[in-house]
Structure 1
Amino acid sequence: MDAQRLKDNFAHVAEQGDAVALFFYSDLFVRNPHLRDMFPVGMTGQRDKLLRALGRIVSQADDLPTLVPFLQQLGRDHRRFGIIAEHYPSVGASLIATLRHFSGSTWTDEIAEDWNAAYTLVAKVMLEAADEDALSRPAWWNGQVIGVERRRFDIAVLRVQPDRPLPYLAGQSVAVEVPARLRQWRYYSMANAPRPDHTVDFHVRLVDGGPVSSVLVRTMKTGDHLRMGAPIGVLTLDESSGRDMLLVAGSTGLAPLKAILEQVARRPIPPRVHLYFGARNRDGLYDLEDLTKLAHEHAWLTVVPAVSDESAGHGFSTLLQSGDGDVEYGNLPDVVARHGPWSAHDAYVCGPAEMVGRTVERLESLGVERARIRLETFADAQR
């Protein structure tokens, strides 16, 4: 298998954009009509995911230590959709047909052999990971909503009772599917550390055009059901570290960091923890009351809320008198930077991609080693 030849061919094919994924799925469903029900009704998002996954696989074709873990997770993820070994040859046939079609005159027997070898490897790794995963856990957990709090028009906090214990680490996420949006899975982080009763909390923000978030925020009620996939994610607590901690959360990026905070609280001697919670305006600090209560209960915890779009005039004075403690004004990375130094801390950052990126840059400029910064963005969570 010639990795560079694969990359060159895929670069040529990818120039056709969305037409590539459209052709692939059309070919797949014409050849295998029974597979159509395994996919969502609206395929736009699915086509985007296909191209992103193919692009990543091809770009790492000559870097197996990096590629294999990604393929293993893909294999485990595909269990939620009912994908089994018998489906892989059909997908492979449609993939080769698509690549041949868009390659035109550049298609050769050598390129065909490269793609067949690559797909054989991809399928093998994914299937082995799926089979191993099936030995220890189900493809999904059924959950019942036992509590709903609508904190504002676009943010809801849900408490869910799984039908069986859901083992996870504080900071991890699960894919969620609701009956009204079958086969449209979206990732949400648990907002609590594991509990004896196995319940989990989700902080859900309404995303413009988001098919799952719209249901969870606007229509979900106590007694409703949903499904949850297996936990994933590396935004987890480094239990081996004895350093103080910096947590930086933008909007509902607070969820995994609040779970980590709960985990820290269970230590016999917790480290000093500074939690910065940011939003555009005061109303966006949807969990500030609970965070303030936690800070009052734990002397090792400092909570600093921040807003970026409020004026520093009369509106800001009103914020300072809100009863929830001082609220800082400014973009979250700037607020965090002016409260340093943080070079002796472990940092955990989650939220909108731009905020996370800027925060990481500022922390590195302030002497925090990149290896001690764990992060996740909303885009990362949806992969």
Structure 2
Amino acid sequence: MQATKTTWTSTVVEHHRLRHDLAVIRLIGDNVPFTPGQYVDVSVPQNPRLPRRLSPALPPSLDGKLEFHVRSVPGGWVSGGIVTDTSPGDQWQIFEPRGTMSVDEDGPDVIMIAGGTGLAPFRSILLDLARRPNPPKVFLFTGGRTPRDLYASDMLYLLMQELPWLTVVPVVESFADPDWPDEWYERIKVDVGFTEDDLVEGTLPEVVTSYGAFTEHQVLVCGSAAMTRATLDRLRDTGTPAENIQFDPY
């Protein structure tokens, strides 16, 4: 009996630096059998012995397209190398998809809570739901420290115009961006996106739970470990049943 393949190869075709600490990587290669919302470990040539956990930001495609959103973290050798040193032609090894976070398209309305690049798996799910004839309503809370951290605001704004069942709530801890310039942000500024009037100030856990308990919703949480823990605690404290919540620290 032939063993099931558990490693796939994909080649970088685009590397878009969006912030000093963030990049979008697009690849084409083997057709990786994941479902929207899952994550994979990837091995990159800069640090091949240190796999990095990433969530695809596109739903599966027959032509093997993949997209990952990567933010470097202090002391993160792999994430830092991906953001600064990735080049077209690099070959990545993709390992077995894992995770069970998903949306029941026939279920109740959905609350998505995304911290930073925790947005990636939700984008995959949203684009997959857009293919469905009657998706549930989705309320996406996406957060960052400042407006500059909302790296995908233009994409989300355009998606919301196209998908009548999608509402996006951009959340920032402060309306003021840092006083130091980010050359990558300055290079790619666009006019499309959320204005300051659209932003809600506060932390994601505070803003989300200000709407009360989500007793009749599918609730998905993805972000840093600290953000995920804080959000889960606030959701449970305000009465959202634990069985309604799916989560993935990113």
Instruction: Quickly name the TM-score band, shorter chain normalised.
Output: 0.7 to 0.9
Residue type at the aligned position of 1:238? D
What is aligned with 1:305?
170
Normalized per residue, the structure richer in helix is: 1
Give yes or no for the alignment of 1:203 onto 2:69: yes
Unaligned runs of 5+ in 1: 1-131, 312-320, 379-383
What does residue 168 of structure 1 align with?
Answer: 34
Change (3 A) 1:166 1:219: same
Larger radius of gyration: 1
CA deviation vs aligned residue, 1:183-221 (integer Å, no higher than 9, x gap): 111110111111232201100000112121112100112
Deviation of 1:364 after TM superposition, in Å, equals 2.1
- The residue number in structure 2 matching 1:218 is 84
Counterpart CA distance in 2 for 1:365 and 1:184 is 37
Aligned pairs for 1:138-149 within 5 A: 139-149=6-16
Please name the residue that 1:159 is paired with: 26
Please state whether the residue corresponding to 1:176 is helix, strand or coil. Answer: strand
Aligned to 2:4, which of 115, 136, 152?
Answer: 136
TM-score (norm 2): 0.88
1: CA distance between counterparts of 2:48 and 2:86?
15
Identical pairs, percent: 38
Q: Which of 176, 187, 202 in structure 2 is aligned with 1:330? A: 202
SS at 1:136 equivalent: coil
Give me the CA root mean square deviation: 2.0
Would the aligned equivalents of 2:154 and 2:193 in 1 still touch at CA under 8 Å? no
How much has 1:340 moved relative to structure 2? Answer: 4.1
Name the SS of the counterpart of 1:181 in structure 2: coil
Q: What is the alpha-carbon distance in structure 1 between the residues aligned to residue 121 and residue 244 of structure 2?
A: 17
Name 2:59's counterpart in structure 1: 193
Deviation at 1:354, TM superposition (A): 2.0
DSSP 3-state at the match of 2:122: helix
Query: Could you state the TM-score of these two structures normalised by the residue count of structure 1?
Result: 0.58
2:37 is aligned with what amino acid?
G
**1:180 is paired with a residue of what secondary structure?**
coil
Aligned counterpart, 2:226: 354
Name the one with the larger strand percent: 2
**What's the secondary structure of 1:161's corresponding residue?**
strand
How big is the shift at 1:322?
Answer: 8.3
Change (3 A) 1:225 1:254: same
Cα distance in 1 for residues equivalent to 2:204 and 2:152: 16
The count of aligned residue pairs is 235
Instruction: Look up the match of 1:129.
Output: none
Conservation of the 8 A alpha-carbon contact between 1:248 and 1:275: yes
Q: 1:249 to 1:373 in 2, by over 3 A?
A: same
How far apart, in 2, do the equivalents of 1:182 and 1:263 lie? 31
TM-superposition CA deviations, 1:282-324 (whole Å, max 9, x none) = 111001110110001011100011111335xxxxxxxxx9851
**Aligned counterpart for 2:130 among listed residues 265, 285, 298:** 265
The CA deviation at 1:343 is: 1.9
Unaligned runs of 5+ in 2: 177-190
2-structure distance, mates of 1:171, 1:349: 11
Distance 1:195 1:322, change over 3 A: closer
Name the CA distance, whole Å, in 1 between partners of 2:62 and 2:111: 27
Structure 2 counterpart SS, 1:145:
strand
